[in-house]
């Protein structure tokens, strides 16, 4: 088995990224996105759940967490997660459970076989405070590419449209940082991350700075 160039160390922060094989879509409809979010919550546990037998997912007692999640974003063909390891070998265990469970769901639903995702998930150590703070913006701004694919190179043409799109995008933790009350907020463990955004106004200010950056 090949070893990772970056080892997972307790109490360190990482940017985790995984995408579909050959950049294929891994989410096709709302039920796919919602299923992944359910698994994202339940996989963060030392208990092995039968995902299809749980009705009230976000009220389920999970026991000991494997990781802490600071932010996430699901895109049509890839996933971003900002993560901190809290249990021994926690990230590897968590990601194995998460990606295996979703791949099994996907292959069953769409009657396919073979690998859904492109090899090992990617991981990057966030080794500075500035870099860690930046990742909150980077992850949450990903959905802008769905309406303005070249915005990073050319800037955003319609600022208000981009902000409105982000505010309505349900498949990231953006709405949780905007203090919208929803059940998916249980996925996050923000007590284990620096309090960069104590209010939604501080979060908006950071996001707007990147949106307006030329």
The residue extents of the domains of the chain are 13-212
CATH number of 13-212: 3.30.70.1290
Q: For position 169, what pLDDT does the model report?
A: 97
pLDDT of residue 74: 98
Mean pLDDT over residues 136-160, rounded?
Answer: 90
The whole-model pTM stands at 0.94
- pLDDT band with cut points at 50, 70 and 90 for residue 199: very high
Long-range interactions of 144-147: CB distance < 8 A, separation 24+: 144/211, 145/75, 146/75, 146/76
**Residue 118, Cβ density class (10 Å: 0-12 exposed, 13-18 middle, ≥19 buried):** middle
CA–CA–CA angle 49, 53, 56 (5° rounding): 90
Identify the H or E element spanning 69: strand 67-75
């Amino acid at each position: 088995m090949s070893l990772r160039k970056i080892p997972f160390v307790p109490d360190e922060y990482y940017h985790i990224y995984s995408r579909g094989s050959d950049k294929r879509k891994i989410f096709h409809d709302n039920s796919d996105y919602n299923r992944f979010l359910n698994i994202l919550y339940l996989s963060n546990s030392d208990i092995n759940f039968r995902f299809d037998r749980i009705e009230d997912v976000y009220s389920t007692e999970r026991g000991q967490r494997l990781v802490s999640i600071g932010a996430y974003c699901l895109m049509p063909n890839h996933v971003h997660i900002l993560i901190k390891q809290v249990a021994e070998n926690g990230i590897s265990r968590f990601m194995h459970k998460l990606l295996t469970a979703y791949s099994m769901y996907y292959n069953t639903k769409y009657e396919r076989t073979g690998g859904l995702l492109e090899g090992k998930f990617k991981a990057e150590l966030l080794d500075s405070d500035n870099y860690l703070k930046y990742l909150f913006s980077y992850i949450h701004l990903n959905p802008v590419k769905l309406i303005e694919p070249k915005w990073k190179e050319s800037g955003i043409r319609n600022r208000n449209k981009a902000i409105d799109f982000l505010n309505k995008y349900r498949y990231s933790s953006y709405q949780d940082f905007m203090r919208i009350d929803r059940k998916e907020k249980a996925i996050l463990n923000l007590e284990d991350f620096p309090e960069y955004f104590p209010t939604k106004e501080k979060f908006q200010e950071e996001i707007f700075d990147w949106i307006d950056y030329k």
